[in-house]
Amino acid sequence: MKPGATGESDLAEVLPQHKFDSKSLEAYLNQHLSGFGAEREATLTIAQYRAGKSNPTFYLQKGFQTYVLRKKPPGSLLPKAHQIDREFKVQKALFSIGFPVPKPILYCSDTSVIGTEFYVMEHVQGRIFRDLTIPGLSPAERSAIYVATVETLAQLHSLNIQSLQLEGYGIGAGYCKRQVSTWTKQYQAAAHQDIPAMQQLSEWLMKNLPDNDNEENLIHGDFRLDNIVFHPKECRVIAVLDWELSTIGHPLSDLAHFSLFYFWPRTVPMINQGSYSENSGIPSMEELISIYCRCRGINSILPNWNFFLALSYFKMAGIAQGVYSRYLLGNNSSEDSFLFANIVQPLAETGLQLSKRTFSTVLPQIDTTGQLFVQTRKGQEVLIKVKHFMKQHILPAEKEVTEFYVQNENSVDKWGKPLVIDKLKEMAKVEGLWNLFLPAVSGLSHVDYALIAEETGKCFFAPDVFNCQAPGYYIN
């Protein structure tokens, strides 16, 4: 698990290079953290999270009280890196409006306490999925997890910067250009060998900056599944972690970063990105893009998508180089930091490959050469919406509907229908997924609807929900 969540397997003894004066910390918290000193006889125990390789992160427990502490790493640091005061500031702003983040409790700039600046936040108990394939969950649950994550990202990007009082949190327009410049400098400052792919990718990115490099949204900077805490039982986001790289910038950089696992190089197994499978329940990249764009009310055609994917791989390579550089300096935050030396090149090469592709060639394509039955663009978009609706709403309700008919098998109520079906119908109407079988209403071709019918046929009551059941057919 990541900072802010519980998991004994993710905790370890504090690394020798990250040990600090626990007595000094306890004295400071007794004075500045309300309620901390209530259990005077209790002993303060400190463990370090295995995750959180940039800013060392610790689990604090005193009696029944638990907290999470984030601090700067010790030693010589790269300029403008590890600004934990920014993390605290953005979490405080987000928490104030109800966005899911751990509650920030206190920030300490006094380096005499434990040697560096630090802040303390609440400890959030929930589930964090480190393996992106999410083993142990059903396909419907996996889909719901990914959909909830993307919806949370869209929510973040829809926030008003002024209402958050985060003016000045970032520089403003020109985010992409600054990112290329900054990560090029960061990489060069940390490089231990010459990697031509990094130089080539840096040059390509600078020459192919998007025309709309003026969007100003609050972005996370490292948005991925294992930075999300989910409810212990529900497929619901309860906390987004690790705001170290957050700033004001272009929102597609976050979406691209979250989509990296679709292209993750097989030669880099050490970062547990998992692998994408259409049968796993994990939405396709096109589905995720459609969900995100619909939540934000923007066009789902993203002309500069290849740029943002390439930029994300460039940043990942730069981060990996930074982790290895700190290892060489003796400031590593985890025991496996030395392994990062071998992943910089494959990440850079993947970014280069993606830079040569367009939005249409990045997404899965339907080969229409020589084919008689071709799906229209609208048909593709509606099919994606139907698949999303099926995974998010219909399949999770299948158990409830089935139990209704089983329980009423010998009752007159068997001719009725569970209330959830009417609820789903209303939701389908709102989504515009109603009477899809009527070309004059839906604007779909027969081929379009055939593919949609194939999808709705996966659940016995789905056609009824979309009002597309066969004439004379009623499940009640």
**Domain regions of the chain by residue span:** 8-122, 139-362, 377-465
Query: Hey, how many other C-beta atoms are within 10 angstroms of the C-beta on 265?
Result: 16
Residue 260, helix vs strand vs coil: helix
| Of residues 295 and 54, more confidently modeled | 295
CATH number for region 377-465: 1.10.540.10
Quickly name the fold that domain 8-122 has. Answer: Phosphorylase Kinase; domain 1 (3.30.200)
Q: Is the pLDDT of residue 445 over 90?
A: no
180 to 131, 326, 418, 441: CA distances (angstroms): 29, 21, 55, 47
pLDDT, tens digit, for every residue of 355-406? 988 765 666 444 344 444 556 767 777 888 888 889 889 999 999 999 998 9
44 CB-near residues (< 8 Å, 6+ apart): 22, 25, 26, 60, 61, 62
| Domain range 139-362, CATH architecture | Alpha-Beta Complex (3.90)
Largest CA distance in the chain: 79
248 confidence band (pLDDT: 50, 70, 90): very high
DSSP assignment string, 382-426 = HHHHHHHHIIIIIHHHHHHHHHHHHHTTTSGGGGS--HHHHHHHH
Q: What's the CA dihedral at 395, 293, 148, 458 to 10 degrees?
A: 10
Which range has highest mean pLDDT (3-7, 31-35, 102-106, 375-379)? 102-106
73 confidence band (pLDDT: 50, 70, 90): confident
pTM of the model: 0.72
101 CB-near residues (< 8 Å, 6+ apart): 91, 94, 95, 239, 240, 241, 243
pLDDT at site 139: 86
